[in-house]
Amino acid sequence: MAQAPLSARSLTSYAWLSIGAAFATMALKLVAWLMTGSVGLLSDALESLVNVGGATMALLMLHWAAAPPDEEHAYGHNKAEYFSSGFEGTLILAAAIAISWTAIQRFVHPQPVEQIGIGLVVSTIATVLNFVMARMLLRAGRTHSSVALEADGHHLMTDVWTSLGVLVGVGLVWITGRSIFDPLTALAVAINTMWTGWRLLREATAGLMDAAWPEDEQRALTEVLAEFKSPDVNFHAVRTRRAGARRFVSFHVLVPGAWTVQKGHELLERVEDRLAQRVSNVTVLTHLEPIEDPASYADSGLGRHG
């Protein structure tokens, strides 16, 4: 059974922690870059600057998503979290372009890397801080169905892999004395960053386009409906969509036409209650139809209305 989403204050506390961690890691990485002059470490610092913007956007969208339904948004504001995910994806792509440009310039105008040992130590501390924060955000995002927190967590985890790549590159410069490893590492970082940015943009677009529930929730829905199926009861026209932490499902319930309204209503109540036990934060819309009437089956396809 899925856990219920946290309150808005609890979710935004994670965003505030992310902002604080982003500022701290950015400062550490800038110090490492200033010490060494490494373009790889500079690319890592630029990634952390993007983290600040992403975490701030996540905070704003979490506040917006927590707003109650109103006359203009009767289904709530949960989709606001997808704007955060899309914004972070866009920032990541922009950072990747900046990193690539900086690396190419270093290929054209090579520069030695200095004070590598101290720079590696400072960057390692920042990487560990980012890893701890990323794991915390990913766990909170997945447990409590927060698209914004999960996107921020993926963003920070990308920064972790970026930092590890940079540490390897700068370490190779230290060991071999060949500065070429510095811009090569920066380009590899840029490619990995572009992939993550594209993935976040794709996921945000899917959410805004009313994507269906994920596989585990679809399976829970199928199992719940199977519990109530019988010769007298069937279901069709099942449609699901997600809006941030909120889940919506609609389906038609086929029962004998001789049933009373009260009996049909009691069945729907039991189905909806059972589904709420398996899938958290769900809104269920049902439509009752007579199982004997051929017209009841004419609206079972997508795009048809009962």
| Of residues 48, 178, 172, the one with CA closest to residue 107 | 178
Mean pLDDT of 3-9: 48
The predicted-structure confidence for 30-89, as pLDDT tens digits, reads as follows 887 777 777 666 766 776 777 777 778 777 777 777 777 778 877 777 777 778 778 878
Find, among 30, 91, 27, the residue nearest to 57 by Cα.
Answer: 91
List, in order, residues 6 or more apart from 238 with CB less than 8 Å away: 221, 225, 249, 250, 251
pLDDT at 286 over 90: yes
Mean pLDDT of 15-28: 81
**How confident is the model at residue 1, as a pLDDT?**
38
> How confident is the model over 13-23, as a mean pLDDT?
81
pLDDT over 50 at 6, yes or no: no
- Does the pTM surpass 0.75? The reply is no
Alpha carbons 241 and 75: distance in angstroms, whole number: 12
In this chain, the answer to whether the domains covering 8-208 and 215-297 adopt an identical fold is no
Tell me, what's the pLDDT at 4? 43
Q: What is the residue extent of each domain of the chain?
A: 8-208, 215-297
- Is the model's pLDDT at 273 over the cut of 80? yes
Question: In CATH, what class is 215-297?
Answer: alpha beta
Is the pLDDT at 106 greater than 50? The verdict is: yes
Domain 8-208 class, CATH top level: mainly alpha
CA atoms of 166 and 22, how far apart (whole Å): 18
